Structure 1
Amino acid sequence: MKEEYYPVNLNLSGKMTVVVGGGKVAERKVYGLLNTGATICVVSPELTAGLKKLADGQNIDWRQKSFSAEDIQEAALIIAATNNQEANIEVHRAASDFQLVSMADNPEHSDFIAPSVLKRGKLLITVSTSGASPSLAKAIRDDLAEVYDEKFENYLEFLHDCRQFILNNVADPIKKQQLLTAIIDPAFLNSNTREEEFEKLYAEILTTD
Structure 2
Amino acid sequence: MKYYPIFLDVKGRDCLVVGGGEVGTRKAMGLYRSGARVRVISKTFSQKLETMSDICLASKSYEPSDLATAFLVFAATDNKDLNQQVREDATARGILCNVADAPDRSDFILPSVVERGDLVCAVSTSGASPALAKKIRKDLEQMLGPEYKDFLLLMANTRKKLLEEGHDPSTHKKIFTALVEKKIPELIAANDQTRIDSVLLELLGSGYEYERLVPQEQ
TM-score relative to the length of structure 1: 0.87
What corresponds to 2:145 in structure 1?
149
Q: What are the Cα deviations for residues 109-164 of structure 1, in whole angstroms up to 9, with x where unaligned?
A: 21111111110111111111112222321221011100001111111101112233
Asked if 2 retains the 8 angstrom alpha-carbon contact of 1:77 and 1:99, the reply is yes
What corresponds to 1:105 in structure 2?
101
- Measure, in 1, the Cα distance between the counterparts of 2:182 and 2:43: 52
Task: Mark the CA change 1:83 to 1:171 in structure 2 (over 3 Å): closer, same or farther.
Answer: same
Question: Is residue 22 from structure 1 mapped to residue 17 from structure 2 by the alignment?
Answer: no
TM-score relative to the length of structure 2: 0.83
Partner amino acid for 2:202?
K
Asked if 2 retains the 8 angstrom alpha-carbon contact of 1:167 and 1:176, the reply is no
Matching residue within 134, 139, 155 for 1:138: 134
Residue ranges of structure 2 left out of the alignment (5+ in a row):
207-218
What corresponds to 2:203 in structure 1?
201
Residue ranges of structure 1 left out of the alignment (5+ in a row):
205-209
- Measure, in 2, the Cα distance between the counterparts of 1:198 and 1:166: 13
Question: Is residue 189 from structure 1 mapped to residue 189 from structure 2 by the alignment?
Answer: no
Partner amino acid for 2:110?
A
- Measure, in 2, the Cα distance between the counterparts of 1:172 and 1:15: 33
Partner amino acid for 1:183?
L
Matching residue within 168, 173, 183 for 1:171: 168
What corresponds to 1:82 in structure 2?
77
Task: Mark the CA change 1:171 to 1:16 in structure 2 (over 3 Å): closer, same or farther.
Answer: same
Q: Matched residues, percent identical?
A: 34
Task: Mark the CA change 1:186 to 1:108 in structure 2 (over 3 Å): closer, same or farther.
Answer: farther
Q: Give how far 1:201 is off.
A: 1.3
Q: Give how far 1:197 is off.
A: 2.1
What corresponds to 1:207 in structure 2?
none
- RMSD in angstroms over aligned alpha carbons? 1.9
Asked if 1 retains the 8 angstrom alpha-carbon contact of 2:182 and 2:199, the reply is no
Q: Give how far 1:184 is off.
A: 0.6
Asked if 2 retains the 8 angstrom alpha-carbon contact of 1:16 and 1:76, the reply is yes
